[in-house]
Structure 1
Amino acid sequence: MTPYDGPSAQDRPPLIDGFGRTVTYLRVSVTDRCDLRCVYCMAEHMSFLPKAEVLTLEELDRIASAFVGLGVRKLRITGGEPLVRKGVMGLFGALSRHLATGALDELTLTTNGTRLAEFAAPLAELGVRRVNVSLDTLKPELFRTLTRGGDLAKVLTGIGAAQAAGLKVKLNAVALKDDNAAELPELIRWAHARGCEVTLIETMPLGEIEADRTDQYLSLGALRRELESFWTLTDIPLSTGGPARYVEVAETGGRLGFITPLSHNFCEACNRVRLTCTGTLHTCLGQEDAADLRAVLRAGGSDQDLIEAIRLAVDGKPKGHDFRIERAARPAVARHMSTTGG
């Protein structure tokens, strides 16, 4: 694909929302499709978008590059599963030019790991330095159940390939009270022994799915207290541009993050927005706000038109989300996490 050279960040005011927060982090979904069907992420029988509604790789590059020109320093490619998107390495190649110029600090991705064995080395060659891999269990049968048919061995092979290619790997695990809560300490030990960080995530009320999230909700505050009964956790002032709060675990020598949208709101320092694969910009994960950037592009809009649409959306970024985990409460938003983009 031919790279789109967006506007330079020089002499352009930064993206600052109505509450004084500077947006420096864009998560870009390249597809709503995935080769797994995780129970907390998707309905079992999903209806996927027709190709005409999905942005082309060139359109994704144009929007992402416009954000880089407006001061965004971190791009994360997400999905669905980003590595199932045909030609996605061309997008990584195009966006890597911003790393070369110094306009971008980091280009990375979140993946389920099933295709990392194939793509890890090419990603490293294009300047990707770390990846987030979703992994909720080390038990093959439970993994198959949670993903509705996934093969744990493929993911573990992918993690090994990523590390062999020189990529740093962070594992993301959704804490599920009835499924993986008892094994989370062992998952953390396993990851830290292999040099991987771990971030634990509370289940979020996104999308209409078959299960009742109330039954699976596990407060990470309670889990931290349990971990502190046998480990020494020390808070560290680390920021990776996301919502996690980090500790060092003395006994394992590794780093552990907590993302707590329900038990501890992290909105006051939110610096990120999300672009869906259809070109919809969401400035808050837990609100129904939306700006249609695809319409701007396909109506023949200029670079300035695109910039103005982005600024208008960011200016209206909500103060915070409305996540609740009450029994019988409807999801905060109807769209699935796989549609929003991680």
Structure 2
Amino acid sequence: MSVVTAISPADAAGTPISPLIDPFARVISYVRVSVTDRCDMRCVYCMSEDMNFLPKRDVLTLEELDRLCAAFVSRGVNKLRITGGEPLVRRGIMGLFRSLARHLESGALAELTLTTNGSQLANCAADLAAVGVRRLNLSMDTLDPDKFRAITRWGDLAQVQRGVDAAQSAGIAVKINMVALKGVNEDEIPRVLEWAHGRGMDLTLIEVMPLGNVEAERVDQFLSLSLVERFLSERYTLEPIAFATGGPARYLRVKETGGRLGLITPHTHNFCEGCNRVRVTCTGTLYMCLGQDDAADLRAPLRASQSDELLHAAIDAAIARKPRGHDFIVDRRGAKPAVARHMSVTGG
């Protein structure tokens, strides 16, 4: 991949363009960038089994993704998370990581990371570590191979565990993300917690989110983490801590294991007040909120000019519309999900 290093935009006096601040005085310093809507799994809470994926012409090239990321970094964004779908199935993806590493080397970017299902990680971990990836999030909802296959439809737990081994061997810190699914894996949470902490990994539990039409009823999948926290507190000593990674999780220390437990609770404890992030899809659509449909097209200004002037204007206009928060609700009264697009479209 051939990439021309972008120069930070500045005014005539050479002063850098101002940082991104939304209408509620929140500074946008974290961008999650999806590089593909494709995935080699079909998790029951994330995707339909029979998905229709985007045509290649609609998806940003790696060069366009690089330029887009550089524009955000020039505006003070210091954390980039590469997502999908499954980002590591995108052909040539390591070229993008290698190019983005220049922002780590310059000090403009504090962290370059990714969210992955781990299926391709065994082959990519060493290369990711070499370009400066120091930690990643890995989705794993069970340690039971048969249950793993049922949840992911196509996944191989052993393959993912080899990816965990490879990442840790390469010196990358792994955080396990586990979606809490009522009647599916709730009884396994202590086992996964002890396994993760036993290997020096944090565990973050996530409430299922009403994104996209899937075969299962959201209300049947939904498990309140308030109930889970109450259940775990009967077994472990949970101590609130001030640790934060820039994402929406609040963290607890589990005294018995010495590890950290994160809780992402879009329903039971809304985390919108301190939101510092936006998401860009692989088509260049900027979503200012995961739980809202309002979006901005960044692909058109990217492709309209070699200059980034139009791109920055589109970003400014979008950030000026960032809402206070989302409206996630899971109940039986609404036949449709809160947001029609699948999580794999927006990016994890």
- For 1:337, the equivalent position in structure 2 comes to 343
Q: Which residue of 1 aligns with 2:253?
A: 248
> For residue 5 of structure 1, what is the amino acid of its counterpart?
A
Pairs aligned (count): 342
Give yes or no for the alignment of 1:65 onto 2:66: no
SS in 1 for 2:293: coil
SS of residue in 2 equivalent to 1:227: helix
- Distance (Å, rounded) in 1 between the aligned partners of 2:46 and 2:323: 23
Q: How far, CA to CA, are the matches of 2:243 and 2:109 in structure 1?
A: 20
Is this contact kept in 2: 1:3–1:61, CA < 8 A?
no
1:213 corresponds to: 218
Aligned position for 2:8: 7
CA contact (8 A) 2:40 2:154 kept: no
Q: Name 1:191's counterpart in structure 2.
A: 196
SS in 2 for 1:28: strand
Q: CA deviation at 1:12?
A: 2.5
Matching residue's letter, 2:205: L
Judge which range, 301-310 or 155-164, deviates more: 301-310
**1:260 and 2:265 matched:** yes
CA distances 1:38-67 after superposition (whole Å, capped 9, x unpaired) = 000000100000000000000001111000
The residue identity in structure 2 corresponding to 1:198 is L
Find the residue that maps to 1:131 and give its secondary structure: strand
Once the 2 structures are TM-superposed, how far is the Cα of residue 158 of structure 1 from its aligned partner?
A: 0.3
RMSD between aligned alpha carbons? 1.0
1:299 CA drift (Å): 1.9
Offset at residue 298 of structure 1 (A): 1.6
Q: How does 1:116-155 map to 2 (within 5 A)?
A: 116-155=121-160
Structure 2 residue matching 1:27: 3-state secondary structure: strand
Q: Letter of the aligned partner of 2:94 in structure 1?
A: M
Provide the rounded CA distance (Å) in 1 between the counterparts of 2:332 and 2:206: 19
In the alignment, structure 1 segments of 5+ residues that lack a partner are none
Q: Partner residue of 1:200?
A: 205
2:241–2:253: 8 Å Cα contact kept in structure 1? yes
How far apart are 1:204 and its partner, in Å? 0.3
In the TM superposition, 1:1-342 aligns within 5 A as 1=1, 2-7=3-8, 11-300=16-305, 302-329=307-334, 330-342=336-348
Cα displacement (A) at 1:300 = 2.1
SS in 1 for 2:239: strand
- Tell whether the 8 Å contact from 1:267 to 1:321 is kept in structure 2 after alignment: yes
SS in 1 for 2:124: helix
* Distance in 2, Cα, partners of 1:112 & 1:11: 37
Question: Does the 8 Å contact 1:6/1:62 carry over to 2?
Answer: no
Deviations 1:103-123 (A, max 9, x none): 000000000001110000000
Distance 1:194 1:3 in 2: 40
What is the TM-score of this pair, normalised by structure 1?
Answer: 0.98
Q: Amino acid of the residue matched to residue 18 of structure 2? A: P
**Aligned sequence identity (%):** 63
Distance 1:301 1:283 in 2: 25
Please give the alpha-carbon distance, in whole angstroms, between the structure 2 residues aligned to 1:301 and 1:156: 43
Kept after mapping to 2: 8 A contact 1:99/1:107: yes
SS of residue in 2 equivalent to 1:99:
helix
Q: Is the 8 A contact 2:136 2:173 kept in 1?
A: yes
8 Å contact 1:192–1:252 — kept in the other structure?
A: yes
SS at 1:96 equivalent: helix
Tell me how far 1:216 sits from its aligned partner. 1.4
What amino acid is aligned across from residue 257 of structure 2 in structure 1?
T
Q: Secondary structure of the residue that 1:20 maps to in structure 2?
A: coil
CA contact (8 A) 2:122 2:163 kept: yes
Specify the SS of the correspondent of 1:201. Answer: strand
Q: Is the 8 A contact 1:24 1:272 kept in 2?
A: yes
